[in-house]
Structure formats: structure tokens, C-alpha cells
Structure 1
């Protein structure tokens, strides 16, 4: 009986397709590789909650193209409070109320035929710090995976702080400190309410708009942002990033 069982086992092994073993090895290596990448990304996000990113992929590419960029880190406490409220009012008014995705804004964008953006400040921070720019489904998928992780690890205040320090405000000008000096010749804590709102107004198109030489559109958007910033300050929608 034992001999028969051994013969059946040998026949079973012989009948297995010859490609199964290499495929299993490949799948095992792929799994290990993906796990390693996931752990590295989690580690980077964890470090980003306490360490300021020295640069970003987009900043590096722009620095190579332009021969250098202007950027200097500044803590959120050293930026005029209106600046943070202005960018939130302009880009993501419900920032304090969501976990990374503004579902009502996404639904509205779909209803509008995709002609308006619905990316939250959290999504934009993930893109700016860890990914690359451009309309790409792979990048959008990674952004969707990483945004909830960022929200779970970072505080809302930290997200706004990093966003303000890595956002592009003009060609080669990154971060609110460089932007305040570039456009108005002042420190970020000396920005007036109107100046802060103008900086927020140019963020969707920093290379096509100017905060120091505002078009009629930028002036109109500035007024709208000032009103929105005052509103979220009064109704509590700025409480999560203001100490």
C-alpha cells in the first residue's frame, strides 16, 4: 500500500505543469517586492509627519530644468493665519470635515462633466511630496491609496503646513515664504489679508497668473477667497489646523 501511495505522489508531481514552479517563485518575489515598497512608503509618510521634506520630485525636475528653484521652509506659526484659511477656502473648504476625499465635491465634479477639480489639499500634498505631476491613471491610483494613510498619520495642521511649503506659486518659486518675498517683498507673517488671498487665488495656475499683477479674474477670485476665509473662520471649518 505504501509503495502504491508513493507511486501516485510521483505521478501527481510529474503531471503538474512545468511552469508552475517558476510562476510561484515569481509571484512570491512580486509579493515581497510590493510589501517592501509599501513598507518604505509607510516609513516615508511616518517620517514626513515630523521631518520636513528637503525637496519633492517636481521641485527636483524644475530645478534641473531651470538651473535652480527658490524655496525655504517656514513653520505654520510663522505664517499669517489668513494664508492658511485662504488656501483652504480656495482649494478645499471642507478640509476639516473629511478624511482625505471630499465626496460631495467629487459627485459635483462628475455631475459637471469633469470640468472642475475635486482634489483635496490632502491629495495635492500626497501628489506634491511623494508622486509626480501630470494626468496619469497610475499616479491617481497611488494618490488614492496614499491619501487615507497620510490622513491617518499626519495631523490636519501638518498637512496644511507641508502643503504651503511645497506648493508652486510661480515658475521656480515654491512655498509661501519664497512666494511672499517674490511677489510682495515681505515675510510670510507680514502678508496682508489681500496679499494672502491673492497667493491662494493663483494656486490652480501659478505660471499663468500673478499675485503682484493680478488680472480682473484674479481680483474677483481674491474677493471670493477673502469672503470664504472669513466664513470658515467663523463657522469652525478652520479649527482643525489653527492652534
Structure 2
């Protein structure tokens, strides 16, 4: 191996170490500092040339009904896994090899929404895995859920539980009831086509199913596992 090639490899190694350390410090800081926005929100604002609706609220001011509905709908193993649900991923791949769905955990979705650009690539998937690992290592589960509930898209340009509660129901996020929570969780897979404010028959049916799953999980007592 030539001396020049060795220098290139050494420089790449140090660059990788620097990037890893920088991202780790960023994620660690966000354990205590609320992010002012997210990559998904910024991208939407740029595309639409207007401000998105978002209003940060601490987890204790977000209804436990919504916390449970989101866990029941999106990631029932959230308290137990370490960022990845390999069993669900395998099942999703078997059911739909071309477009696997329903395999991302809440931690992975938070990583994508907070740090990454829209699109699909191996680089993006690698960064998603890296940020997912960092978040699981450096944040408690409550913090992951708090950030997710504040940056998740619940409607066109409506991000976070507080903005959604005000926009759809005219209430504060802490006052979201069981049925409203089910409707909000039901639209998460496609919030630009489904509506919690004017729910379709499918959304109402899915909300009822989510409520049944919440009961099976043990309602708010399940949150004690976080």
C-alpha cells in the first residue's frame, strides 16, 4: 500500500471518528435541550413557504391516553426493545418484500423525523441506525417518546400533540381523551391523506381497534414500564 493511500485512509478514519463524536455529543445535548425544530418540519416549511403548526409541550403535559394510543398503534414493544424490533421487521419483509411497512420503532421514527432528510438510500438507513443506537444509549424512553410526540406529523403542516389537539379539537394536549387519542394515532401512517378532525370510516375503525389494544396493554399502567 502506497504512503499516499495510507494517508487517505488515515484521514477518512479520523473524519469518521470526528463525525461520530460530534453526532454523539449532539444527541447527548438533546437529552436535556428541546430541539427547536426537526428536519421533517424544516423540509415541509421550505416546500410550502410557510410556518408549520407546532407547539412544544413536556411529556407530563401530553395526555397519557395519547401516549398509550401511539405506543399501541406504532410500537407495542417500545419499553422492551433497544431501538430495533427485528421480529416485526422480519414479518414486514415476509408480508411485503417490495415495500415493507410497519417495522419502524418509535425510536427509529424519531431519528428519521428529527435528524434526517426525506428519501431513501443506504446512507440514510445507515444514519438512521446510528442515531437510533445513540438515542437508545443516551436517552431514557420517556425522552424518546416526548420528542416523538412533539415532532410527529398528525396532519398537513400540523406537527406535535399540542398543535394537533388545538387544530383538531380546540383543546390542550393534556385534555385529549381516549377516543381523540385513538383518532390521532390512527392517522399517523398517512396524516396527509387521513384526518383526525373529519375521520373516515376506516380511521374510526382503526381508532376503535387501537383503543382495544390499549386496554389489552393495561392502559396508563403500561407507561410505568418506560
TM more than 0.5: yes
What is the CA deviation profile of residues 167-200 of structure 1, one whole-angstrom value per residue up to 9, with x for unaligned ones?
0111211111001011111100111110111111
Tell me the residue number matched to 1:152.
137
Normalising to structure 1: TM-score of the pair? 0.87
1:163: Cα distance to partner?
Answer: 0.2
Tell me the residue number matched to 1:133.
118
**Residues of 1 paired with 2:39 and 2:220: CA distance?**
36
Contact kept, 8 Å, 1:100 with 1:120, in 2: the verdict is yes
Contact kept, 8 Å, 1:75 with 1:161, in 2: the verdict is yes
Tell me the residue number matched to 2:20.
38
Alignment of structure 1 residues 228-243 onto 2, 5 Å: 228-233=213-218, 237-241=222-226
Tell me the residue number matched to 2:42.
60
Secondary structure at the residue paired with 1:169? strand
Alignment length, in residue pairs? Answer: 223
**Residues of 1 paired with 2:66 and 2:12: CA distance?**
45
Contact kept, 8 Å, 1:85 with 1:233, in 2: the verdict is no
Alignment of structure 1 residues 95-106 onto 2, 5 Å: 95-106=78-89
**Residues of 1 paired with 2:220 and 2:159: CA distance?**
30
Contact kept, 8 Å, 1:93 with 1:237, in 2: the verdict is no
Tell me the residue number matched to 1:220.
205
Match of residue 28, structure 1, among 2, 7, 10? 10
Q: CA RMSD in A?
A: 1.6
1:119 aligns with 2:109: no
Tell me the residue number matched to 2:74.
91
Tell me the residue number matched to 1:211.
196
**Residues of 1 paired with 2:57 and 2:47: CA distance?**
25
> Bigger shift: 143-152 or 195-204?
143-152
Tell me the residue number matched to 2:172.
187
Tell me the residue number matched to 1:77.
60
Contact kept, 8 Å, 2:68 with 2:220, in 1: the verdict is no
Contact kept, 8 Å, 1:57 with 1:129, in 2: the verdict is yes
Specify the structure having the higher radius of gyration (Cα): 1
1:136: Cα distance to partner?
Answer: 2.3
Contact kept, 8 Å, 1:97 with 1:237, in 2: the verdict is no
Contact kept, 8 Å, 1:181 with 1:187, in 2: the verdict is yes
What is the CA deviation profile of residues 196-216 of structure 1, one whole-angstrom value per residue up to 9, with x for unaligned ones?
111111011010000011011
What is the CA deviation profile of residues 21-49 of structure 1, one whole-angstrom value per residue up to 9, with x for unaligned ones?
22122112111111111111001110111
Unaligned runs of at least 5 residues, structure 2: none
Normalising to structure 2: TM-score of the pair? 0.93
